[in-house]
């Protein structure tokens, strides 16, 4: 299950020693809505969080989110990979490698 998180939960959420995916999205974004079911499916195997860039613009600025959807893979609190735009499940999983 994908959980939407806020600024106060963000740092703890990405601090895992296991890879964590964060989906930066907006409710008005068509490609973001298309990506949502894929992220739900991926969340069966890896931790996935969502950040609404309209509600959490500080996080979006911190990570230079210029286009959405943007999926960032974090490990130990550090960004290790990024995917911008709508991608297939396999393309999203490939950023974990």
Options 32, 35, 38, 48, the catalytic residue: 32
CA-to-CA distance for 42 and 13, rounded, in angstroms? 17
Instruction: Choose among 76, 69, 67: nearest CA to 91.
Output: 69
How would you list the strands of the sheet with 47-52, edge to edge? 3-4, 47-52, 20-25, 70-75, 78-84
Options 29, 46, 84, 96, the catalytic residue: 29
Could you confirm whether 73 is annotated as catalytic?
no
Read off the DSSP letter of residue 42.
H
Q: Which residues are catalytic?
A: 29, 32
């Amino acid at each position: 299950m994908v959980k939407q998180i806020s600024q106060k939960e963000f740092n703890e959420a990405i601090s895992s020693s296991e890879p964590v995916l964060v989906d930066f999205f907006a409710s008005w974004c068509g490609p973001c809505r298309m990506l949502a079911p894929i992220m739900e499916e991926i969340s069966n195997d890896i931790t996935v969080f969502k950040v609404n860039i309209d509600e959490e613009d500080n996080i979006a600025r911190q990570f230079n989110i210029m286009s959405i959807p943007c999926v960032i893979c974090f490990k130990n609190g550090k960004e290790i990979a990024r995917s911008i735009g709508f991608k297939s499940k396999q393309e999203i999983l490939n950023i974990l490698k």
